Amino acid sequence: MASAIVFYISGHGFGHASRSIEVINAILAKRPETRIGVRTSAPRWLFDLTVKGKVSFSTLECDTGIVQLDALTLDEADSIRRASSFHSDMVTRAASETRSLRELGAGLIVGDIPPLAFAVGASAGIPSIAIGNFTWDWVYADYPRVRLAPSLLPTIRGAYAKASMTLRLPMHGGFDNFNNVTDIPFIARHASRSREEVCKLLKIPADKPIVLVSFGGYGLPGLDTESLSKFKKYTVVMTSNQPLGRLKKEAAASERKGAYVTVNEEAMYDAGVRYEDLVGAAEAVVTKPGYGIISECIANDAAMLYTSRGHFPEYEVLVEQMPKYLRSAFISHDDLFAGKWESQIDKLLHQPKIKKKPETNGADVAADILLKALDKPPKKPRGRPKAKA
C-alpha cells in the first residue's frame, strides 16, 4: 500500500485550513489515489464542504495559536499562557502521535505550521515539510508576556529546526529556525463560477457592484446593518454559518433587507457555490487582513477595504506589502461598525489596478514538491562501522 501524506494544520482561524485544503485538492487532482490524513482542530465541515476527494480526518489540537475574543480583539496574555502550557510537554505529545501515524501509513508529514508536526516527524522518523507565511515563535516573540514563559520560544524553535524542508509563502515573517527554505507563489482559492451564476444561484441582486463582508467564523456583532441596508450604489453580502435546521435550504439560501443580503453558507455550498466564488463576484471585500482573504482577493481581482485586528505581528507585514499585490484601503473601527463605507469604497475602486498580477498557483507548486518528496525512497539506516581486526 502506498504511503500517505499526513497534514497537521493549525486551528487558528480558517486561513491555515483553507490553504492546506487547496494543496490537498491539487494533490488529489494530480494523483487521485494518494492517501491523505488530516490532523487539526479546524472545523470538520470546512473539509467536508471543500475537499474534492477522500481524506482521513481526525480532530487534534496541534497548537493554540492566538486567543481571539472576537473577530478584531485578541488576548495576548492568555495566548502566551495557553501556548506555554501546550508546548511544555512537546516530547510526550510527539511520541503519542506515532501510533496514529502508523495507522495512517504516513510516509510524509506536512505542517501549516504547528511546531508539533515537525517534532512528530523527528520522533517517528518521517520526513516533514512546512508550509506557511509566518511562524508562531515570531508571533509570540512580539508579546512582552513571553518573558514569563522562558521555555516557550526555544521549544518552538527546536521543533521547527527539525523540518526537512520549508515552503515559504509571500508576505512572510519568521523562518529563521527552518532549514532548506524554498519560496513558492501564493496559495489561493480561485472562483470557478461567474458573477452571473453566483447571483442567480444565491438570489443576490446583480444590478449593483457587490461588496462582501468577510470576518471568518466570528462574524461582526455590533455592525450597523441598518445603515448597510440603505446603501444606494452597492449590494452588501455577508455569510452566516448558522445551521439551517428544518428550514428548506432553497428558501434559506439568502435573506435580503434593502441593499443588505445574508447568505447561509450551508445552503450556498448545497447550491454549488464556494466561498471563493463569492469573492470573485465581489468588486470589494471588507475584512481584517489575513493571508487567506488577501490571497483570494488577489486571485479573483477584488479590492480590499481593511480594518485593524489587534496586536498581531503579521498585520504589519501584510499591510506594508498589500499595495504591491492589490487595491487596498484602511477603514477605522468607528466607520466600520457605523456602516460608513460608501465613500471609502468609491475611492478604493477608483484606485488603478495592479499592473502585474502575482502568481497564485502555489497549491500546484506545493503539490508537485510534496508528491516528489513522498516518492523519494527513505534513507537507509547507516550500519555500524566494522571493528578493526
Average pLDDT over residues 111-139: 97
On whether the CB atoms of residues 197 and 223 are closer than 8 A, the answer is no
Q: Which residues pair with 329 in a beta bridge?
A: 305
- Percentage of the chain beyond pLDDT 90 is 85
> How many CB atoms neighbour CB 334 within 10 A?
9
Q: Is 37 exposed, middle or buried (0-12, 13-18, 19+ CB in 10 A)?
A: buried
Q: What pLDDT, on a 0 to 100 scale, did the predictor assign at position 69? A: 87
Going by pLDDT thresholds of 50, 70 and 90, the confidence category of residue 310 is confident
Average pLDDT over residues 321-333: 97
Q: What pLDDT, on a 0 to 100 scale, did the predictor assign at position 76? A: 95
Of the candidate ranges 23-27, 100-104, 249-253, the one whose mean pLDDT is the lowest: 249-253
On whether the CB atoms of residues 187 and 22 are closer than 8 A, the answer is yes
Average pLDDT over residues 11-37: 96
The model's pLDDT over 43-74, given as tens digits with 9 standing for 90+, comes to: 999 999 899 999 999 999 999 999 988 888 89
Q: What pLDDT, on a 0 to 100 scale, did the predictor assign at position 249? A: 47
Taking 80 as the threshold, does the pLDDT of residue 238 lie above it?
yes
Strands (E), the chain: 4-9, 35-40, 56-59, 68-70, 73-74, 106-112, 128-134, 165-173, 181-183, 210-214, 235-240, 254-257, 260-264, 284-287, 303-306, 328-330
**316: Cβ contacts below 8 Å, ≥ 6 apart:** none
In three-state secondary structure terms, 358 is: coil
On whether the CB atoms of residues 297 and 284 are closer than 8 A, the answer is no
Q: Is 377 exposed, middle or buried (0-12, 13-18, 19+ CB in 10 A)?
A: exposed
Q: What pLDDT, on a 0 to 100 scale, did the predictor assign at position 246? A: 47
Domains along the sequence of the chain with CATH: 4-187+362-375 (3.40.50.2000), 195-349 (3.40.50.2000)
Average pLDDT over residues 117-143: 97
Average pLDDT over residues 329-347: 97
**pLDDT mean across residues, the chain:** 93
Q: What pLDDT, on a 0 to 100 scale, did the predictor assign at position 31? A: 97
